[in-house]
Amino acid sequence: MLTLAVSKGRIYDETVPLLKALGLEPAVCPDKSRKLILPTLNPDFQLLVIRATDVPTYVEYGAADMGIAGKDVLEEYEATGLYEPLDLGIACCRLMTAARVGAPDPLSGGRPRVATKYVKTAHRYFARHGIQAEIIKLYGSMELAPLVGLADCIVDVVDTGNTLKANGLEARDLIMQVSSRLVVNKAAMKMKHTAISRFITAISQTVASHAGRSIQP
Report helix angle 10-21 to 193-210, nearest 10. Answer: 100
d(C-alpha 209, C-alpha 111), whole Å: 47
Cα distance between residue 84 and residue 74, in whole Å: 10
How far is 108 from 210, CA to CA, in rounded Å? 42
Say whether both 145 and 171 belong to one domain: yes
Same domain, 35 and 107: no
Predicted pLDDT at 78: 86
Please tell me whether residues 142 and 198 are part of one structural domain: no
Q: Is the pLDDT of residue 217 over 50?
A: no
Q: Are residues 97 and 84 in the same domain?
A: no
Predicted confidence (pLDDT) at residue 213 exceeds the cutoff of 60: no
Asked whether residue 217 is assigned to any structural domain, the reply reads no
The pLDDT of residue 202 is above 80: yes
25 with 79, same domain?
Answer: yes
102 inside domain: yes
Q: What is the CATH classification number for the domain harbouring 108?
A: 3.40.190.10
Mean pLDDT of 70-75: 96
The predicted pLDDT at position 212 comes to 53
Q: How many Cβ atoms are within 10 Å of 202's Cβ, its own excluded? A: 15
Instruction: Indicate if 167 and 197 belong to the same structural domain.
Output: no
pLDDT tens figures, 141-186: 999 999 999 999 999 999 999 999 999 999 999 999 999 999 999 9
Confidence band for 214, pLDDT divided at 50, 70 and 90: very low
Looking at residue 154, its amino acid is I
Q: What's residue 167's pLDDT? A: 95
Q: Is residue 215 part of a domain?
A: no
Residue 167 lies in a domain: yes
Cβ neighbour number for residue 84 with a 10 Å cutoff: 13
Q: How many CB atoms lie within 10 A of CB 200?
A: 17
Structural domains in the chain (count): 2
Query: Has residue 216 been placed in a domain?
Result: no
Q: Is 211 exposed, middle or buried (0-12, 13-18, 19+ CB in 10 A)?
A: exposed
With 0-12 CB in 10 A as exposed, 13-18 as middle and 19+ as buried, what is 179? middle
Is residue 73 a part of any domain in this protein? yes
Which pLDDT belongs to residue 108?
82
User: Is residue 216's pLDDT more than 50?
Assistant: no
Cα separation, 211 vs 144, whole angstroms: 37
Average pLDDT over residues 2-6: 98
By mean pLDDT, which of 31-40, 72-81, 177-186, 192-201 is the weakest?
31-40
User: What residue numbers bound the domain in which 22 lies?
Assistant: 2-91+179-210
The predicted structure's pLDDT at residue 101: 95
What are the tens digits of pLDDT across the range 24-49?
A: 999 988 777 788 899 999 999 999 99
- Tell me if 158 sits within 8 A of 119, measured CB to CB: no
Instruction: Name the average pLDDT for the chain.
Output: 93
